[in-house]
Amino acid sequence: MTINSAVNKLSGKRKGERPKVLLIQPPIHDFALYDHYLKPYGLLRLASFFTQSDWDVEFLDCLDYREPESVDMLNSPRRKADGSGKFFRTPVENPLKDKPIPRRFARYGILPSVMERRIAAAVPDLVLVTSGMTYWYRGVAEAVRRVRKSYPHIPVAVGGIYASLMPDHCENVCGADAAIIGDALVASGGRMAVSEPFASFLRKSGLPVPILGSEERLLDTGRPTISPLLLPRVWDSAGIIRMNRGCPFNCDYCASRRISEGFHPGDGRDAFESMMAIHHYSGTRNFAFYDDALLYKKGELFHPFLRMVIAAQLDFNFYTPNAVHLKYLDGETADLMVRAGFREIRLGYESASEEFHRKRDGKFDPASFPGKIETLREAGFSPVDIRVYILAGLPGQRWEDVEKSVRFAKKTGVSISLSEYSPVPGSPMWEESCRASVFPLKDEPLYHNNTFFPMEWEGFTREALEKIKRLTRSKTS
Ligand code: B12
Ligand code: SF4
């Protein structure tokens, strides 16, 4: 079916008029939220695809921290030069009132009245809402509810992480017409196309399935670059780069496999060009990587990218909020990263225990840790700019193990972030987590939030967690 013949079927459209999609990054309801390069990357890829396929596209960013009316009412959130910062915050009632948590629950995002006005003005034929953490579903539900208020009969689909991990919950509780699992865009015969579940939803809704325009783009890495002409404002503070998709590991505590099966290599030149396009149109010099396995096969993938950046003499700042694999780190990579402009490096260390890694992830030999840190220091990373993630609160984990890991890492002088465990549906450890938790994790995703410390037990109490947090912050080892 061509777009034009299908467009004629759209209600209220004049012949030849293009269909319109409204893409929504919903607000977030949580106990705390910091913008650590939190961008609606997947939704913006969709925006780019729909634009290239001749649809009209409108984007509603409910996390836009510069929205003027919200600034007037809620004051400007504090932002940092590195592109991170706060969002608008409005305290709201804790939906789980019977579970006292020493933190206020809040809604992060633009004013609801602005959101509703923007939705009402859009007049779309289709609404697409993205989703992040499973425990952020209330923001998704809010977006769907406000869309329904203006358009009771327009098709609404939700995609992204929560929709992929809990599709039934998403359809039943958020009221979406469909939760689309996984990538909405897939490589097909060297080109990009809409996935079958998404295409089937569009057909059922009487909408045309978008296809790329006539200038047939061959997409070597199987993904379109994010159209920089569209929505440059989103990228003003920082751009996102994702060179490769997926991860070769299958750690017990992670759902990467469920989100994208296996490792799909990208291409250094394509990543470089996407980045330059974002810089050209938005002016940003901050870039964060969303890769799950940035250093895997680095000689073929990451190194060429870094060499292009160095040759172009760009004064850019690079960040790895999602951490990189210690296993694949070596002197050459560290040296290239420093020369390219990496301001900090975050590492997936998780634990100092050999047994932990043997049992839970197999991704790293902790005996090599001091040597890896030395390599980074020799390359020019200062210890405060080396940050290691240590996992805390896995089912059955004892607090002493975590304390030992923190003390061991501290000896090297690096910065430490406690990564408090969030049980993830679809991860190998999910069923074990459900059995170990006093909370009904399967019924209520809010309990996946690590603020609830869902795996608390007598071997690891909240008091012990607080003690370790203090140790992490203290100057002594
Ligand atoms: C980048 C990232 C982060 C970043 C940024 C966060 C963010 N963007 O939300 C940082 C480093 C800050 C982070 C932090 C954390 N993260 Co994180 N993170 C990720 C990661 C690697 C990518 C998420 C992402 O944005 N992907 C981009 C996607 C959406 O783009 P895409 O694939 O191109 O999109 C396609 C599809 O998704 C789909 N699609 C997307 N939207 C839509 C909409 C519609 C309508 C349709 C049809 C399709 C569609 O189509 C797109 C095109 O094909 C995932 C793991 C993963 N592999 O996905 C974990 C993940 C989401 N994180 C996770 C966790 C546990 C955390 C932490 C709690 C870790 C910790 N213990 O501290 C923290 C909490 C953060 C917080 N409170 O803010 C878990 C989820 C937990 C949960 N219960 O939901 C994941 C799944 C990893 C895991 N462990 O399994 N994270
Ligand atoms: S935790 Fe990291 S290494 Fe392990 S599967 Fe997830 S993305 Fe891969």
Q: Considering every ligand atom, which ligand is closest to the CA of 424?
A: 1
Q: Could you tell me which of 73, 332, 302, 45 has the C-alpha nearest to residue 192? A: 45
- Tokens for 331, please give them: 């002197």
Q: Considering every ligand atom, which ligand is closest to the CA of 244?
A: 1
CATH topology agreement for domains 3-204 and 238-473:
no
Q: Is 194 in the pocket of ligand 2 (CB under 6 A)?
A: no
Query: What gap in Å lies between CA 385 and CA 382, rounded to an integer?
Result: 5
List b or e across 82-120, with b for residues whose CB sees 16 or more CB atoms inside 10 angstroms: bbbbebbbbeeebeeeeeeeeeebbbbbbbeebbeebbe
The domain ranges of the chain are 3-204, 238-473
- pLDDT tens digits along 255-314: 999 888 889 998 899 899 889 988 988 899 999 999 999 999 999 999 999 999 999 999
Mean pLDDT of the chain: 91
Query: What gap in Å lies between CA 133 and CA 303, rounded to an integer?
Result: 31
Cross-strand partners of 60: 24
Q: What is the pTM of this model?
A: 0.95
Which helix (H) or strand (E) segment holds residue 21: the answer is strand 20-25
**Other CB atoms within 10 A of residue 407 CB:** 15
Query: What gap in Å lies between CA 327 and CA 341, rounded to an integer?
Result: 22
Query: What gap in Å lies between CA 454 and CA 407, rounded to an integer?
Result: 24
- pLDDT tens digits along 73-88: 999 999 999 999 999 9
Residues belonging to the chain = 477
Angle at 348 between CA 254 and CA 342, to 5 degrees: 125
Q: Considering every ligand atom, which ligand is closest to the CA of 226?
A: 1
Query: What gap in Å lies between CA 331 and CA 468, rounded to an integer?
Result: 32
Q: Is 350 in the pocket of ligand 2 (CB under 6 A)?
A: no
Centre of ligand 2 from the C-alpha of residue 253, in Å = 8
| Amino acid found at 204 | K
Which residues, 6+ apart, have CB-to-CB distance to 160 below 8 Å? 42, 43, 130, 131, 132
The torsion of the CA quartet 395, 400, 401, 405, rounded to 10 degrees, works out to 130
CB 163 within 8 A of CB 169: no
pLDDT at 120: 98
Alpha-carbon torsion 162, 164, 165, 171, what sign?
positive
What's the gap between Cα 272 and its chain centre? Answer: 20
Q: Quote the CATH superfamily of domain 238-473.
A: Aldolase class I (3.20.20.70)
Q: Is 260 in the pocket of ligand 2 (CB under 6 A)?
A: no
**Distance separating the N- and C-terminal Cα atoms of the chain:** 66
Q: Which CATH class is domain 3-204?
A: alpha beta
- Tokens for 162, please give them: 């929560």
For every residue of 352-410, DSSP letters joined together read: S-HHHHHHHT----GGGHHHHHHHHHHHT--GGGEEEEEEE--TT--HHHHHHHHHHHH
Q: How far is CA 423 from CA 141, 395, 431, 434, in A?
A: 21, 9, 9, 8
pLDDT at 6: 34
- Tokens for 189, please give them: 């015969």
Question: In ligand 1, which atom is closest to the CA atom of 182?
Answer: 36
Centre of ligand 2 from the C-alpha of residue 245, in Å = 12
- pLDDT tens digits along 13-37: 656 689 999 999 999 999 999 999 9
pLDDT at 226: 62
Contacts from 80-85 at CB under 8 Å and sequence distance 24+? 82/238, 82/286, 82/317, 82/319, 82/343, 83/37, 83/237, 83/238, 83/284, 83/286, 83/288, 83/317, 83/319, 84/34, 84/35, 84/36, 84/37, 84/237, 84/238, 85/34, 85/35, 85/237
* Residues lower than pLDDT 50 in the chain: 1-9, 11, 214-223
Query: What gap in Å lies between CA 131 and CA 42, rounded to an integer?
Result: 9
With the most atoms of ligand 1 within 8 angstroms of its CB, the residue from 422, 441, 442, 455 to mutate is: 422
CB 395 within 8 A of CB 429: yes
Residue with CA at minimum distance from ligand 1 atom 4: 322
Q: Could you tell me which of 266, 331, 318, 330 has the C-alpha nearest to residue 292? A: 266
